[in-house]
Amino acid sequence: MSYRTHLLRADKVMARLVRRYSLKAIAPAKNPLEELVGSIISQQLSVKAVETIAARFFALYDGRMPSAERIVRTPIPRMRTCGISNAKVRYIKNVARAFIAGRLNRAHLMRMSDAEVHHHLIAIKGVGPWTVEMFLIFALGRPDIFSPGDVGLQNAIRVHYGKKPTPTFMKKLSARWAPYRSYACRYLWKSLDNE
């Protein structure tokens, strides 16, 4: 059964979102370092703020994603000029060092289970559950990830389901969407124009 068919049957609210919005296919990221850097920049920021900061970050490197080695060599004050906090600069450098050390690489990440990816990434200081969840959805294209701590999802659930997004309610609700919870999240984000 396709994700669309499954979600049309999951509940009336989700069925309405599925009929109203279309989703683009997500191909696994060619550069997982870029995706992780983007997720760290995105932590606790609006979409507009992220776009501005990310553009400044890439401008430091001639508009391209730098190598892990170049990120590590970039002085912290220079990276701070993009609007990235001191803590996030350190987190980005931690991720870059993990790639340099060989603890992370695209082929290895693609073969890992969701739980293994979580275990490897969460061990890097500055990579929390939300960052891992975004990476699993948008960098690896995993179909069954739910991000209960995501404020956008909480807002969308509050708006569309008319209930407070408590952990218990969200767990029960998202269980209906399995094994396609990533797609349900994307429909909810799309409904807020926030994907």
Enzyme catalytic residues: 150
Task: For residue 95, give Cα distances in angstroms to 1, 3, 82, 83, 133.
Answer: 37, 32, 18, 19, 16
CA distance 94 to 85: 14
> What's the token pair of residue 52?
């501005």
Question: Inter-axis angle of helices 129-138 and 181-191, to 10 degrees?
Answer: 100
Please say whether the beta carbons of 107 and 121 come within 8 A.
no
